[in-house]
Amino acid sequence: MEIAILAGDKEIIIPDSVINFVIVGILLLIFALVVNKKAKDVDPEKAPSTFLNVVELIVDTVNNFVISTMGKHNLRFAPYILTLFILILCSNLFGLLGFTSPTSDYSVTFSLALVTFGIVQVNAIKSAGGFGKYLKGFLDPLPFLLPLNIAGELANPVSLSFRLFGNVLSGSLIMSLLYSFLGYLAPIIAPPFHIYFDIFSGVLQAFIFTMLTMVFIAGATEE
């Protein structure tokens, strides 16, 4: 469902994919508040619930993965990595509920990539020892490679966003064509295809986006 906003004599259309992305974000925020409350209300003299044990297992797994991939000094990025993975995963799987998947909209995936790009650039400047030294790094190893170094840096968010967008959109299009072709047989034949194009691909693309984010940040925080 699109939303139209009048701004003077112009009409701004907010697509349903963006609205769905906001809905996913709100639901995850509510979930985080519930987890936070349950964690604070735990009785230290009693064993934690199964729910909190699962949450703790997920957090520990992400922390260990960040340490093994990015180094212990980058453990501070673990909350962002976990949030990014869950947000993208839920957005990818949102299409299973009959709604437009938020990540099938390039504006959504590009916005996510820009957040990662911003984090990478800020940490690259800190690691270089200042903005001047950061800019000087684009002249390495040879000054005439400056345009290529700049283009390579700017290509990261574009490639990151297009990879997620292209895979999710193509999966949605294939499933739409499959439903149109199968007609009344779709509810019987289509479920196995959902397992691959929606669930498996959704988890895989969320992992790839998050993994590349970790690689980019790790590269930017090298001394």
The answer to whether the beta carbons of residues 98 and 212 sit under 8 Å apart is no
The answer to whether the beta carbons of residues 76 and 62 sit under 8 Å apart is no
Percent composition of the chain: helix, strand, coil (DSSP 3-state, to 5): 85, 5, 15
Rounded CA-CA distance 10/8 in Å is 6
pLDDT in 10s for each residue of the chain, 223 residues: 666 666 667 777 788 888 999 999 999 999 999 998 988 888 777 777 888 889 989 999 999 999 999 989 899 999 999 999 999 999 999 888 878 889 999 999 999 999 999 999 999 999 888 888 888 888 887 888 888 988 988 999 999 999 999 989 888 888 778 878 777 777 777 777 777 777 888 899 999 999 999 999 998 887 6
pTM to 2 decimal places: 0.88
Q: In the prediction, which pLDDT does 145 show?
A: 83
Q: In the prediction, which pLDDT does 1 show?
A: 63
Rounded CA-CA distance 107/85 in Å is 18
The answer to whether the beta carbons of residues 91 and 189 sit under 8 Å apart is no
**What phi and psi, each to the nearest 5 degrees, are found at residue 11?**
-115, 120
Amino acid found at 129:
G
Cα within 13 Å of Cα(87), Cβ side: 21
Among 84, 79, 82, 142, residue whose Cα is nearest residue 117: 84
Among 173, 176, 201, residue whose Cα is nearest residue 88: 201
Among 202, 211, 203, residue whose Cα is nearest residue 81: 211
Q: In the prediction, which pLDDT does 28 show?
A: 94
Rounded CA-CA distance 135/152 in Å is 14
Between the alpha carbon of residue 115 and those of residues 108, 157, 176, the distances in Å are 11, 9, 31
